[in-house]
Amino acid sequence: MHSSEYIDTFDGKKLFTRKDIVDDAKAVVVFVHGLDEHQGRYDYHAGRFNGEGFSVYRFDNRGHGRSDGKQTYIDDFNTYLKDADTVVDIAKKENPDLPIFMLGHSMGGFITAAYGIKHPNKLNGQILSGSWTNTTDAFAEIQQLNLEENPDMKLPNELGNLISRSEYVIDDYEKDPYVSEFTTLKLMKEMLDNAIPWLVDNLKKYKYPVLVLHGGSDPIIDPSCSEKLYDMISSKDRELKIYPELYHEILNEPEKEEVIKDILLWLEYRC
d(CA 177, CA 162): 19
pLDDT, tens only, 122-161: 999 999 999 999 988 777 778 777 777 788 999 999 999 9
Q: Which of 106, 129, 131, 226 is catalytic?
A: 106
Does the CA dihedral 109-113-114-120 come out positive or negative? positive
Judge whether 45 counts as a catalytic residue.
Answer: no
Judge whether 218 counts as a catalytic residue.
Answer: yes
Q: Which of 38, 218, 222, 226 is catalytic?
A: 218
Phi then psi dihedrals of residue 159, to 5 deg: -85, -20
Confidence (pTM): 0.97
d(CA 214, CA 105): 10
CATH number at residue 25: 3.40.50.1820
Q: What is the mean predicted confidence (pLDDT) over 224-245?
A: 98
Q: Which of 38, 45, 64, 248 is catalytic?
A: 248
Which of 107-121, 124-138, 255-269 shows the lowest mean pLDDT across its residues?
A: 124-138
**What domain range is 28 assigned to?**
2-270
Number of independent structural domains in the chain: 1
Judge whether 4 counts as a catalytic residue.
Answer: no
Q: What percent of the chain has pLDDT over 70?
A: 100
